[in-house]
Amino acid sequence: MSVIMIYEGISGAEEVANRVAESLDYKCVGRQDLASTLAHYGVPRAKLDEITEKEAHWWDQWLHDLRPYRIALQAAMCEMAEAGPMVYHGHVGHELLPDVSHVLKVCVTGPMELRVDRLRSRLAVDEGVIRRQLEHTDRARSRRLMALFGNDWQDPSRYHLMLNLAMGTEAASEVVTTAARQGAFAETSDSRQAFEDLALSRKSQATLLRSELYRDLPIDVKAHNGTVTVSGMVASPITVEGVVDTIKGIPEVSEVTANLVVMPRRHSDIE
């Protein structure tokens, strides 16, 4: 199960993704597929658009906790990747499967002039309007991804490859296909375990976050080889047993280790 994440920084990146998927006999998936899978974790399509595309305001950091959405996005992407080798094209994929060595991350982009020209060939819109819209979109995505992941999509260190589509879609596709066939991106037993651990930890977190009772718990969740470890604090009416039983309801979980501190009830809670 190998995965290729292609960031769409220019019109034509989706065509590159489709060509690569066809060459490697991988499934090609995109934003629509992510949105459909994300719905399993209680996040509607409109919310996906809001947290990844709309420009953030300075007050958002106080009004919105993006952690639940980041966890849901990761859980959804893991679920998609579990289905087999895939090429994902979109704007968040490169940040969703960290520390998994068989994930190849690619940014397909180009100079502003090329980005404008590619859109002008499809849209009957003035060049200046297109340029301003692209600049606005770039700013919005930078701020949103910085808020979600603490990283800028334009940072080259977030990718294995950054490709200028001035070379053409065929050449870009060949470069990505060749890179994907390198041993550095082959699945190993260690990388598979890293992926499975990530998938189970995010699924466990997402399960807790979907519950009104557990949504705001200050706990950390880790997984390894089917064992889920939860650490943090709980207070009445939440019980350690309730948290453990919720996680045990996930089929992939073989054991739950609870390192949870039960906080004493405050006097005001008892009255």
- Please give, one letter per residue, the 3-state secondary structure of 156-204: HHHCCEEEEHHHCHHHHHHHHHHHHCCHHHCCCHHHHHHHHHHHHHHHH
Angle at 75 between CA 142 and CA 84, to 5 degrees: 105
Distance of alpha carbon 138 from alpha carbon 91, whole angstroms: 11
Hey, what are 259's tokens?
Answer: 């390192």
Supply the pLDDT for residue 56: 56
> Any idea where the domains of the chain sit in the sequence?
3-185, 211-270
Which pLDDT tens digit goes with each residue over 171-194?
999 999 999 999 999 999 999 999
Which pLDDT tens digit goes with each residue over 73-132?
999 999 999 999 999 999 999 999 999 999 999 999 999 999 999 998 888 788 999 999
Once rounded to an integer, what is the mean pLDDT over residues 31-57?
81
**How is domain 3-185 classified at the CATH fold level?**
Rossmann fold (3.40.50)
Supply the pLDDT for residue 62: 42
Angle at 112 between CA 107 and CA 113, to 5 degrees: 125
Once rounded to an integer, what is the mean pLDDT over residues 53-69?
62
Supply the pLDDT for residue 51: 76
Once rounded to an integer, what is the mean pLDDT over residues 227-247?
92
Supply the DSSP symbol for 159: -
Which pLDDT tens digit goes with each residue over 128-174?
999 999 999 999 889 889 988 999 999 999 999 999 999 999 999 99
Domain 3-185 and domain 211-270 have a common topology: no
Give the largest Cα separation in the chain, rounded. 71
Helices 67-81, 31-38: axis angle to 10 degrees equals: 110
Greatest mean pLDDT range, 52-66, 72-86, 233-247: 72-86
Q: How confident is the model at residue 29 (pLDDT cuts 50, 70, 90)?
A: very high
Distance of alpha carbon 224 from alpha carbon 48, whole angstroms: 29
**C-beta separation of 56 from 152 below 8 A:** no
pTM of the full structure: 0.89
- Tell whether domain 211-270 is in CATH 3.30.1340: yes
**C-beta separation of 106 from 180 below 8 A:** no
Q: How confident is the model at residue 46 (pLDDT cuts 50, 70, 90)?
A: confident
